[in-house]
């Protein structure tokens, strides 16, 4: 601490810099650049062995100087306006290493090593800085010869050691000079005649610290990087300001060599020391900043090699790369995603895939997919995440079922190691920086063979790649196939076990068979399902077969569809008392005052699980928070936006209110009201003596969170736990949570919201007709002209469900079959096979009349 009245030079330098004008900044930059040129002339020389400048290292007249001594002398030369050699540019790379001749940079490189600090015979590993690269570009432009640039890029970008030391935020060899120049006011760095000699004296002592009064640096953030990414971007912008023909071929070749060497090192050495991890992270941070990775030869040769190398990084290194991208490269992420998508699409188009060599075997596709996963989590980390308290899994222990009768709990689906390392999942991302749908690759989703992919997913060989472990890249329609194969294989397994038990004298039914009466549908269904759940819950994983008493239908899928449709219509009706309808959104919610037992809600959960398990789409409208809660997340304030938009806006306005008169303005206490199924108003205190506690600026956030928690969690806790319990009795062994996010599960349950008969027409096949048949043309004229409600009836009549499957109506593959010549008979449908039996009606009017009668009055099976 200085005596009163004395000026602290350090304080003067730092305090005065902030008050300088833009003009001062320009003078500072010019002066700093000139002083740096003197510094590197003293330390590295100009590269001319015949140099006669006594202040140049290449002349042999400059003795070995410490960095501090060189910095002090550089400032003196600047003040004296001393001679500068031609071509001398500021750089942190030894000048002699970058000049042509026998002692080229390539010969100075150390042998390939994972440690960037290694050197051979005491020679430094070369590297680039922004200033150095700009100097080389300027020199090449002035000479009209780009050989130095080509050689520099080729040598630095082909070496992980060299590249990892490039574009660093701080450099030890420059610390005395950089520290002074960064802190000095423009009066110090003004014209040489005005130079403040105090700065020179401060550097006269050998290896003395610059301003030892500076506070110690703060502890670095674990997601920080030593790479100056802004400098990297400016450098690449300057590089591509010249014609790419001058250097791009050399750069591409260097990147291929770099990636090949890194991949080889990682596969040979496996686990790396932490310093090597930082080395490679620096490398990938720099190369993925190249702005043209998605074009020309970079896409064809270099990018997939870089992706292969990056995919070999250990999980801890991938996690750190994801965090650094999220923290420092947020705006770069969408462009990088577009580049990876472009690479995958190009390789898909160019590839020749067969059953023996499928998409999963091509590293040109799997490697960028693995890198895309790192980007996928970076997008979530840089977006809006749920608070940890909303990520707690809820209790799902079955109630009312004898544990001794239950099968041992199945092992949960394997978790993504990268997600575990990062401590997040897709459920945590409320709003990712990049929308989840942008990660879908439509072409890949269409071409991937999910049966083969599912086999790879189930394979015990760890090297088998399966897109089911990278489900973010697949569309929901394709992921539905993966779930379908999993469900069917489990059904067949249960069937084989039943046959085996029958063979050894313990016969069991190979199917989950339900026999119900139409007039007592709910009672019959719930009683039978309750008996199955109590006696042997594993029977719920058998294939469902439904029989309506007194009807001829044999269930090949169509009868089950109608069964689920009728159950949903009745049990989700508010008159039934188990669920209510939100007036504003017309969505279904649990009745908090329901008199039904937990077992009833458990069985409703079983019905929902069975619908997914048997690939049946239901006409239910749950708010999104239900699907989030089914996957183990609690409802939070953000979920109110979908659950009750008006309430959400009101509470948002409360949070945004800044006046001190909040109690008088809102007159809201911690006592809230809600209505039961009969319309009566009930009250609940969110905290003890809540009726006496008014909402203020200090506790408004607490009120909002408690209110949301009460509405979405606590008020329906008993009902929802029972509901989820039943759901998981069917889906506990399913990869449902691995493949689908909440909004995708909604599509899985409810189907697509896009109702396009044009898609259905394009996907329809014909038996006995052709697309040019008059009856077919008349049918589609009538179908397209129908109102939406009638179109839904036609869809239900033909397929057994009026819901659109995930992926659109093109997924239905409807068949129109000729059912004899013109007659007065009505059309007939085989809903199990999506087949419409259509007589060859003689006129458009007759077809319309018969078709409308069929879809409006048909119900059940065996009824004409």
pLDDT tens profile 640-662: 999 999 999 999 999 999 988 89
Query: In what helix (H) or strand (E) does residue 516 lie, and over which residues does it extend?
Result: strand 512-516
β-pair partners for 815: 765, 835
CA distances from 89 to 31, 33, 126, 155 (A): 14, 9, 16, 19
Q: What is the dihedral of CA 209, 211, 214, 220, to 10 degrees?
A: -40
Domain boundaries, the chain: 38-86, 127-171+225-311, 314-393+415-437, 500-751, 752-857
Q: How confident is the model at residue 172 (pLDDT cuts 50, 70, 90)?
A: very low
How high is the pLDDT of residue 105?
33
Give how far Cα 493 sits from Cα of 457, 525, 639, Å: 17, 24, 39
- Contact 564/616 with Cβ under 8 angstroms? yes
Please state which architecture CATH assigns to domain 752-857. 2-Layer Sandwich (3.30)
C-alpha–C-alpha distance, residues 838 and 861, integer Å: 17
Mean pLDDT, the chain, rounded, equals 79
CB 449 within 8 A of CB 370: no
pLDDT digits (tens, 9 = 90+) for 256-275: 999 999 988 887 766 555 55
Instruction: Tell me the average pLDDT across 489-516.
Output: 77
Counting Cα atoms < 13 Å in the Cβ hemisphere of 8 gives 13
Instruction: State mean pLDDT over 478-507.
Output: 80
* Higher-scoring residue by pLDDT: 594, 693: 693
Distance of alpha carbon 614 from the chain centroid: 29
Residue 54 is predicted with a pLDDT of: 82
389 falls in which pLDDT band (50, 70, 90)?
low
Strands 544-548 and 512-516: parallel
Ramachandran category for residue 823: left, alpha or beta (phi over 0 → left; psi -120 to 50 → alpha): beta
Phi then psi dihedrals of residue 665, to 5 deg: -75, -50
Give the confidence band of 854 by pLDDT, cuts at 50, 70, 90: confident
Alpha-carbon Rg of the chain, whole angstroms?
A: 36
Dihedral angle sign, alpha carbons of residues 765, 771, 775, 778: positive
Dist. CA 611–CA 565, nearest whole Å: 10
3-state secondary structure of 118: coil
Contact status, residue 625 vs residue 712, Cβ threshold 8 Å: yes
Quote the CA–CA distance of 175 and 67 in Å, as a whole number. 8
What was the pLDDT predicted at 238?
92
* Beta-strand runs (E) in 182-329: none
Task: Report yes or no on whether pTM surpasses 0.85.
Answer: no
User: pLDDT band for position 710 (50/70/90)?
Assistant: very high
pLDDT confidence bin for 724, thresholds 50/70/90? very high
- Predicted confidence at residue 19, as pLDDT, reads 41
More confident residue, 461 or 402: 461
Most confident range (mean pLDDT) of 102-106, 392-396, 718-722, 756-760 is: 718-722
pLDDT exceeds cutoff 90 at 577: no
505 falls in which pLDDT band (50, 70, 90)?
low
How far is residue 616's CA from residue 803's CA, in Å, rounded to a whole number?
Answer: 9
Residue 93 pLDDT grade (very low, low, confident, very high; cuts 50, 70, 90)? very low
Give me the helices (H) in 732-756, please. Answer: 736-739, 742-750
Q: Is the confidence at residue 100, as pLDDT, over 60?
A: no
| Cα dihedral: 363, 369, 375, 377 (round 10) | -120
Buried b (16+ CB within 10 A) or exposed e, 618-634: bbbbbbbbbbbbbbbbb
Is residue 667 within 8 Å of residue 696, measured between CB atoms? no
142-166 in b/e form (b: 16+ CB < 10 A) is eeeebebbbbbbbbbbbbbbbbbbb
Phi/psi of residue 339, nearest 5 degrees: -65, -45
Q: Phi-psi region for residue 408, left (φ > 0), alpha (ψ -120 to 50) or beta?
A: beta
In terms of C-beta density within 10 A (0-12 exposed, 13-18 middle, 19 or more buried), how is residue 286 classed?
buried
pLDDT band at 178 (very low <50, low <70, confident <90, very high): low
98 by Cβ neighbours in 10 Å (0-12 / 13-18 / 19+) ranks as buried
At 746, give phi and psi (nearest 5°).
-60, -45
Pick the range with the lowest mean pLDDT from 486-495, 528-537, 546-555, 668-677.
546-555
Helices (H), 541-689: 558-571, 598-613, 624-630, 640-643, 645-656, 662-666
Architecture of domain 500-751: Alpha-Beta Complex (3.90)
Nearest CA among 181, 302, 281, 159 for reference residue 229: 281
- Is residue 703 scored above 90 in pLDDT? yes
Sheet of 828-830, strands arranged across: 765-767, 815-818, 835-838, 828-830
Q: Please report the pLDDT score of residue 28 as a whole number.
A: 59
pLDDT band (50, 70, 90) for residue 14: very low
* Contact (CB, 8 A) for 456 and 464: yes
pLDDT of residue 469 exceeding 90, the answer is yes
pLDDT of 550 over the 70 cut: yes
Kind plus residue range of the DSSP H or E element containing 119: none
- The more confident residue out of 116 and 587 is 587
Least confident interval from 123-137, 275-289, 553-567: 553-567
Residues above pLDDT 90, as percent of the chain:
32
Dist CA 548 CA 390 (whole Å): 44
pLDDT, residue 342, reads: 94
pLDDT band at 11; cut points 50, 70, 90: very low
Confidence of residue 87 (pLDDT cuts 50, 70, 90): low
For residue 498, give Cα distances in angstroms to 410, 528, 585, 613: 19, 19, 46, 19
Is-contact 240 291, C-beta < 8 A? yes
CB 798 within 8 A of CB 829: yes
Residue 329's pLDDT is what? 92
> pLDDT at residue 369 above 90?
yes
Whole-angstrom Cα distance, residue 670 to residue 702?
10
**pLDDT band at residue 742 under the 50/70/90 scheme:** very high
Cα 92 to Cα 770: distance, rounded to the nearest angstrom = 75
How wide is the angle at C-alpha 109 spanned by C-alphas 103 and 113, nearest 5°?
Answer: 165
Phi, psi of 634 (to 5 degrees): -80, 155
Where does the pLDDT of residue 52 fall: very low under 50, low under 70, confident under 90, or very high at 90 and above?
confident
Predicted local distance difference test score (pLDDT) of residue 557: 65
Mean local confidence (pLDDT), 529-537: 82
Check residue 638 and report its DSSP letter. G
Task: Choose between 679 and 783: higher pLDDT.
Answer: 783
Contact call for residues 394 and 431 (beta carbons, < 8 A) = no
Label residue 220 by pLDDT band (50, 70, 90): low
Is the distance from CB of 137 to CB of 238 less than 8 angstroms? yes
pLDDT at 400 > cutoff 60: no
HEC secondary structure over 160-206:
HHHHHCCCECCCHHHHHHHHHHHHCCCCCCCCHHHCCHHHHHHCCCC
Which residues lie closer than 8 Å to 335 by C-beta, 6 or more apart?
none
What is the pLDDT confidence band of residue 306, given thresholds at 50, 70 and 90? very high
Please tell me the distance from the alpha carbon of residue 158 to that of residue 150, in angstroms, as a whole number.
12
Q: DSSP class of residue 696?
A: -
Task: Tell me how far apart the 2 most distant CA atoms of the chain are, in Å.
Answer: 113
Tell whether the model's pLDDT for residue 461 goes beyond 60: yes
Mean pLDDT of 689-699: 90
Q: How far apart are the first and last CA of the chain?
A: 102
The DSSP letter of residue 227 is B
Name the pLDDT band for 708 (thresholds 50, 70, 90): very high
- Catalytic site residue 358? no
Per-residue DSSP letter, 816? E
With cut-offs at 50, 70 and 90, classify the pLDDT of residue 177. low
Q: Report the pLDDT value the prediction gives residue 600, as an integer from 0 to 100.
A: 84
Confidence label for 413 from pLDDT (cuts 50, 70 and 90):
low
Q: Which of 826, 834, 831, 832 is nearest to 851 (CA)?
A: 826
Residue 450: CB atoms within 10 A of its CB come to 21
Q: Return phi, psi of residue 288, to 5°.
A: -75, -5
Residue 30 has pLDDT above 80, yes or no: no
Mean pLDDT, residues 97-103 = 33
| The pLDDT value given to residue 712 | 94
Q: How far is CA 384 from CA 380, 429, 431, in A?
A: 7, 6, 5
What mean pLDDT is predicted for residues 182-203?
A: 46
Per-residue pLDDT, 393: 53
Q: Where does residue 240 rank: exposed (0-12), middle (13-18), buried (19+ CB within 10 A)?
A: middle
Q: What is the mean pLDDT of residues 277-296?
A: 90
Q: How much is the pLDDT for 104? A: 35
């Amino acid at each position: 601490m200085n005596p009163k009245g004395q000026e602290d030079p350090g304080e003067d330098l730092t305090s005065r810099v902030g008050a300088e004008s833009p003009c001062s900044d320009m003078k500072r930059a010019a002066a700093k650049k000139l002083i740096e040129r003197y510094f590197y002339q003293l330390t590295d020389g100009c590269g001319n062995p015949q140099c006669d400048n006594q202040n140049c290292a290449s002349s042999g007249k400059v003795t070995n100087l410490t960095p501090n001594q060189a910095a002090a002398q550089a400032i003196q030369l600047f003040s004296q306006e001393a001679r500068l050699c031609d071509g001398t540019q500021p750089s942190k790379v030894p000048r002699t290493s970058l000049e042509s001749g026998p002692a080229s940079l390539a010969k100075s490189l150390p042998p390939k090593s994972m440690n960037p600090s290694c050197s051979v015979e005491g020679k430094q590993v070369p590297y680039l800085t922004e200033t150095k690269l700009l100097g080389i570009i300027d020199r090449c432009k002035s000479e009209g010869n780009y050989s130095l640039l080509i050689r520099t890029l080729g040598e630095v970008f082909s070496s992980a050691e060299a590249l990892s030391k490039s574009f660093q935020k701080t450099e030890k060899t420059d610390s005395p000079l950089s520290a002074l120049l960064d802190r000095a006011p423009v009066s110090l760095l003004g014209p040489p005649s005005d130079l403040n000699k105090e700065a020179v004296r401060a550097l006269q002592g050998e290896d003395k610290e610059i301003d030892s009064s500076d506070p110690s640096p703060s502890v670095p953030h674990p997601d920080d990087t030593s790479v100056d990414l802004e400098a990297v971007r400016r450098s690449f912008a300057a590089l591509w300001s010249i014609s790419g023909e001058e250097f791009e071929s050399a750069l591409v070749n260097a990147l291929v060599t770099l990636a090949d060497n890194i991949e080889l090192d990682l596969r040979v050495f496996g686990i790396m020391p932490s310093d090597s991890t930082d080395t490679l992270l620096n490398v990938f941070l720099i190369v993925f900043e190249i702005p043209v990775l998605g074009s020309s030869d970079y896409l064809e040769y270099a990018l997939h090699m870089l992706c292969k190398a990056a995919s070999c990084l250990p999980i801890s290194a991938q996690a750190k790369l994801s965090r650094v991208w999220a923290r420092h490269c947020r705006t770069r992420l969408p462009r990088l995603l577009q580049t990876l998508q472009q690479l995958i699409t190009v390789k898909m188009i160019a590839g020749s895939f067969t059953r023996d060599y499928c998409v999963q075997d091509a590293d040109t596709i799997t490697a960028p997919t693995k890198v895309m996963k790192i980007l996928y989590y970076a997008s979530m980390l840089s977006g809006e995440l749920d608070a940890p308290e909303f990520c707690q899994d809820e209790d799902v222990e079955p109630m009312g079922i004898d544990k001794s009768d239950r099968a041992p709990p199945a092992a949960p689906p394997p978790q993504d190691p990268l997600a575990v390392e990062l401590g997040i999942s897709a459920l945590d991302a409320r709003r990712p920086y990049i929308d989840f749908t942008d990660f879908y690759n439509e072409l890949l989703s269409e071409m991937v063979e999910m049966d083969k992919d599912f086999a790879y997913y189930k394979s015990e060989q760890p090297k088998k790649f399966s897109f089911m472990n990278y489900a973010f890249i697949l569309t929901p329609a394709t992921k539905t196939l993966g779930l379908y194969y999993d469900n069917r294989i489990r059904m067949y397994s249960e069937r084989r076990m039943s046959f085996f038990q029958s063979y050894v004298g313990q016969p069991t039914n190979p199917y989950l068979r339900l026999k119900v009466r139409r007039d007592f549908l709910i009672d019959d269904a719930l009683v039978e399902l309750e008996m199955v759940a109590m006696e042997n819950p594993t029977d719920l994983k058998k294939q469902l077969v439904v029989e309506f008493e007194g009807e001829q239908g044999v269930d090949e899928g169509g009868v089950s569809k109608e069964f689920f449709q009728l159950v949903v219509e009745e049990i989700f009706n508010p008159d039934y008392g188990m669920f209510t309808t939100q007036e504003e959104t017309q969505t279904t919610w649990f009745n908090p005052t329901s008199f039904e037992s937990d077992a009833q809600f458990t069985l409703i959960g079983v019905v929902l699980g069975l619908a997914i398990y048997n690939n049946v789409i239901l006409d239910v409208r749950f708010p999104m928070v239900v699907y989030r809660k089914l996957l183990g997340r609690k409802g939070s304030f953000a979920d109110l936006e979908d659950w009750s938009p008006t309430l959400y806006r009101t509470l948002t306005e409360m949070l945004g209110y800044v006046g001190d008169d909040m109690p008088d303005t809102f007159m809201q206490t911690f006592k809230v009201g809600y209505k039961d199924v009969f319309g009566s108003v009930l009250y609940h205190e969110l905290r003890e003596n809540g009726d006496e506690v008014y909402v203020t600026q200090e506790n408004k956030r607490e009120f909002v969170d408690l209110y949301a928690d009460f509405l979405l969690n606590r008020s329906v806790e008993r009902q929802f736990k029972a509901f989820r319990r039943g759901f998981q009795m069917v889906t506990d062994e399913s990869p449902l949570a691995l493949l689908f996010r909440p909004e995708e599960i909604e599509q899985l349950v409810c189907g697509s919201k896009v109702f396009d008969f044009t898609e259905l027409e394009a996907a329809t096949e014909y038996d006995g007709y052709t697309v040019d048949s008059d009856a077919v043309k008349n049918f589609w004229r009538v179908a397209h002209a129908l109102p939406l409600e009638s179109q839904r009836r036609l869809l239900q009549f033909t397929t057994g469900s009026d819901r659109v499957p995930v992926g659109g109506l093109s997924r239905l593959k409807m068949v129109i079959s000729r059912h004899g010549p013109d007659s007065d008979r009505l059309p007939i449908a085989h809903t199990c096979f999506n087949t419409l039996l259509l007589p060859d009606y003689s006129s458009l009017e007759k077809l319309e009349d018969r078709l409308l009668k069929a879809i409006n009055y048909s119900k059940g099976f065996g009824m004409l």
